[in-house]
Structure 1
């Protein structure tokens, strides 16, 4: 059974069941089906045929996004969702080869038509159509592999790559995740962009197939991007709705830990985190307060989740157990993965793209340790290794983790490739405290890995907006390029 058929079987079977809460409106399975039919009529009026077309979805997290995603699955289209936070160059690089672009308001339509004036663009709310002149399109490669999605992921340049996701991969991954997750119906609050595959999997597919509910944020609230200076509005939503299941970005976890009181937060909830390095002291403090956080690890190239801590077998400091559909081996510290959820390749790629070898193993580029129980610990990125002028190799994540043990440091990036010593970019700490913190950290490091220089970043929000991904990962190559003269 295809993944789409599995989802629609659930929708058709119980049309009166409430699934989605959108701005305090309860939306049933039957209403979802009716709205899918309504959108299909708008496509017909504009003579749009979706089958085997690559469809760009340029929308914030919303009910409209979900309807667009489901109709594309049903009509055997290939979706390429993008976050509207991307700049115009990034949007153009990803959507330049799609056949149709879907938006949900005139403002977004005006922006997209200015970026890609030759593309057909439709407003799913009004049915308004910009017909364009669709001459520069490309059939999605590997259609024989049943591609159902193309997911953006960071590249070495500012332009993201597009990863080809198979229908079979979604089917198997969601099935195995539901075997790990709590067995009761999942009530999920979506805060990060639905353009992220992991948010689609958790928020849309896992809630539907577990007979759960999906709570969408208010229209007035932007998708959480990890760099907001004030997380209070997002934390208030968690207090209000008390979901029993959700993804919490690392930045939200840090802000949750800073609260004087955690009253109103559900203590038996299944809160998942990952995507960026987590301060384990933060996890331990939240644990002491009664809030358990479950770390996971994944890549777009593996249809998102590779490993995750379950409610009955959590180990703080690890990314949990590798899921059973994946085989693994370690080569010189690097994690290699093989299995049914490995991607079918790339729609667009660059030199940072992962290699798949002759045996079918994906070379993740991540340096790891795995114990006999399949628990995974991430040590760093192979491609992030800094090679100093003295030929010493240093994983920046190793040194950064030492700095992040100090709560006054919100974040940091270690630079030094090709240089004589390491430099730390420090976010959040007062300049008067940086020297003493570095002195303490250096006392725990060998001579060759000690920090000899530091740069204080006063405007954290501006820096993260430019140099961090949506999931909180630093764009290291861009940071190195722009700060090389300061090292």
Structure 2
């Protein structure tokens, strides 16, 4: 970032246009031309202006609420930047959101327009939308009129920029209102912790509809001015890495676990798999198993872990070159304050949301004198590192009266290399049981229970797992078992696998 800090995300983009407009900015795969395309910062800005012009011709005005239901990629980025240019409120819908749920979100946000991938997308839902739809091609191509040249007005940093609907782990839908100031301040602080150079090449895979990727991939890129590449998706991710040889990737732990399993399966090195230029990676959305972190570290690739919420734009704490600590999620960002009150992590700062959409009671309930109550259990050590120990509302009490935090046990069990995911149950029961997802179908599972319990030796005996069931598929976002950031939705999982759970108590 330049010595003079930009006033907004768009101000940063225009700074790059003026000072280094011919530098490579964004690469993406064009299905129309069956090849990769790269835009400079000047070309990118011309496309943003054209997109904004086309939106205005479609009747979009400042302060309109616009739904964005798009796959990851260049159209998503142009749409988001154009909406900022027009000072509209974006309401992103995750690509995997169930149609009925998307309709509810669009209605609650009172959206005037929904931008979709193709004309059939809204028809395929079979549901009545409360707003008109517009294919993204019409937004990007328009009606041939000359793009208007825009000079971005300095936004009101207290105005709402986006409304994010997040069910969290309870399944209860909440509309999180984030302001321009929330997202900008978090991206600035995250960039300070990343300590990126302008020669970075960052490969984006995570959905931009989720605030982790939106802040840490998209807006950090806008601020820093490095080269970003939009991956073609999970199926092509390994090929994209080899082709582009990125220096940094933000992803959830399972993505990095899959990369590591590719090394094992093909007898190659991690450097071969990732292109040999990775300087560091950042894992968020779930706790990182220590064997996974160690495997990357042993290959000279530091794996940084972070922690945050949609309500905090999202980053609260993040590791970086300035300091890491095993099992920690790093120190709070420079602009973020954290305290532990009655065992709960609470935070305040410029990244904390304005509130929940049309829900003053829930907004008031989540604040304690200006501090946001995260609902997460945690602790801070003497060096300032933050540790997350699970959710307050997920504490279990067994039939014997033992209070158990399942997330702590699950984190330890996932240190077992063969375990990709585990869900522990036992509330009101005489002992604990677990649903297990393996990293490979070829894993020998006959002694898996013993290996799992070996990871729990530091816990009291009542924390041992007595029975397990190995699932034949992973949990999914589509079935409501995981949130968009891969967190467990325990009540849905309990319903989906009720018979398997009960079978372990017979």
TM-score between both structures, scaled by the size of structure 2: 0.84
Q: Deviations over 1:246-270 (max 9, x none)?
A: 2022111212223132133335522
Task: For 1:180 and 1:440, locate their aligned partners in 2 and report how far apart those are by CA, in whole Å.
Answer: 36
Deviations, residues 364-398 of structure 1 (Å, cap 9, x unaligned): 11111212232111111111111222222111012
Q: How does 1:317-466 map to 2 (within 5 A)?
A: 317-347=327-357, 355-428=365-438, 430-441=444-455, 443-460=457-474, 466=480
Q: CA deviation at 1:431?
A: 4.2
1:68 matched to 2:73: no
Write the distance in 2 (CA, Å) between the matches of 1:90 and 1:11.
39
- Among 90, 98, 106, the alignment partner of 1:79 is 90
Quickly say closer, same or farther: Cα 1:353–1:241, change in 2 above 3 A. farther
Question: Given that residues 114 and 133 in structure 2 are in contact (C-alpha distance below 8 angstroms), is that contact kept between their aligned partners in structure 1?
Answer: yes
Q: Which runs of 5+ in 2 are unaligned?
A: 1-5, 30-35, 143-155
Aligned equivalents of 1:5, 1:460: Cα separation in 2: 40
2-side partners of 1:159 and 1:28: how far apart? Answer: 42
Q: Distance in 1 between matches of 2:161 and 2:337?
A: 23
Confirm or deny: 8 A CA contact 1:90 1:158 kept in the other structure: no
Residue 162 (structure 2) pairs with residue 149 (structure 1): yes
What's 1:300 paired with? 310
CA RMSD of aligned residues (A): 2.7
Partner of 1:139: none
- CA displacement 1:237-295 (0-9 Å, x = unmatched): 22221211220221112122231321333355221001112111221122112221111
CA gap of 1:308–1:317, structure 2 versus 1, over 3 A, is same
User: Could you say if the C-alpha distance between residues 57 and 7 of structure 1 is closer, same or farther in structure 2, counting changes exceeding 3 Å?
Assistant: farther
Shift of 1:12: 4.2
Q: For residues 287 and 441 of structure 1, do their structure 2 counterparts lie closer, same or farther at Cα, with a shift above 3 Å needed? A: closer
Residue number among 49, 52, 59 corresponding to 1:40 in the alignment: 52
Structure 1 residues 311 and 111: CA distance shift in structure 2, 3 A: farther
Alignment deviations for residues 121-174 of structure 1 (CA, whole Å, 9 cap, x no partner): 111313599xxxxxxxxxxxxx99411111232335546422111111222222
Instruction: Choose which of 149, 172, 182 in structure 1 pairs with 2:195.
Output: 182
Q: Is the 8 A contact 1:157 1:478 kept in 2?
A: no
SS in 1 for 2:329: coil
- Determine the structure 2 residue equivalent to 1:217: 231
Confirm or deny: 8 A CA contact 2:202 2:248 kept in the other structure: yes
1:272 aligns with 2:282: yes
Deviates more, 1:70-79 or 1:172-181: 172-181
Paired residues of 2:280 and 2:301 also in contact (CA < 8 A): no
Quick check: 143-152 or 25-34, which moved more?
143-152
Gaps of 5+ in 1: 130-142, 225-230
**Partners in 1 of 2:289 and 2:169 — Cα distance?**
26
In the other structure, the counterpart of 1:263 is 271
Structure-2 change in CA distance of 1:245 and 1:438 (3 Å) = closer
1:458, distance to aligned residue in structure 2 (A): 1.5
Asked whether the equivalents of residues 457 and 463 of structure 1 are also in contact (C-alpha less than 8 Å), the reply is no
Distance 1:109-1:482 versus aligned 2 partners, 3 A rule: closer
- Within the alignment, does 1:193 sit opposite 2:196 as a pair? no
Distance in structure 2 (CA, Å) of the matches to 1:442 and 1:64: 47
The answer to whether the aligner puts 1:284 opposite 2:289 as a matched pair is: no
Checking the alignment, whether the CA contact within 8 Å between 1:249 and 1:273 is kept in structure 2 is yes
Give 1:16's aligned residue.
Answer: 22
Q: Which residue does the alignment assign to 1:28?
A: 40
Query: Which residue in 1 is equivalent to 2:100?
Result: 89
CA contact (8 A) 1:328 1:338 kept: yes
Cα distance change of structure 1 residues 338 and 288 upon mapping to structure 2, 3 Å threshold: same
1:234 aligned to which of 234, 237, 245 = 237
Residues 311/267 of structure 1: CA separation in 2 closer, same or farther (3 Å cut): farther
Q: CA deviation at 1:439?
A: 5.0
For 2:157 and 2:206, how far apart are their aligned partners in 1?
Answer: 32
Contact kept? 1:151, 1:163, Cα under 8 Å: yes
Whole-angstrom distance in 1 between the partners of 2:476 and 2:444: 17
Give the Cα separation in 1 of the matches to 2:280 and 2:227.
Answer: 14
- 1:6 matches 2:11: yes
1:117 partnered with 2:129: yes
Greater mean deviation of Cα atoms: 31-40 or 470-479:
31-40
Alignment partner of 1:418: what SS?
Answer: coil
**Cα pair distance change 1:117/1:208, threshold 3 Å:** closer
Alpha-carbon distance change, 208 to 163 in structure 1, aligned in 2, over 3 angstroms:
same
Cα shift at 1:115: 3.1
1:305, CA displacement in angstroms? 0.6
SS in 2 for 1:214: strand
Indicate whether 1:105 and 2:111 are aligned: no
Partners of 2:52 and 2:85 within 8 A in 1: no
Q: Call closer, same or farther: CA 1:464–1:147 in 2, change over 3 Å.
A: closer
Cα contact 2:329–2:386 (8 A) shared by 1: yes
3-state SS of the aligned residue for 2:188?
Answer: helix
1:273/1:110 Cα in 2 relative to 1: closer, same or farther (>3 Å)?
same
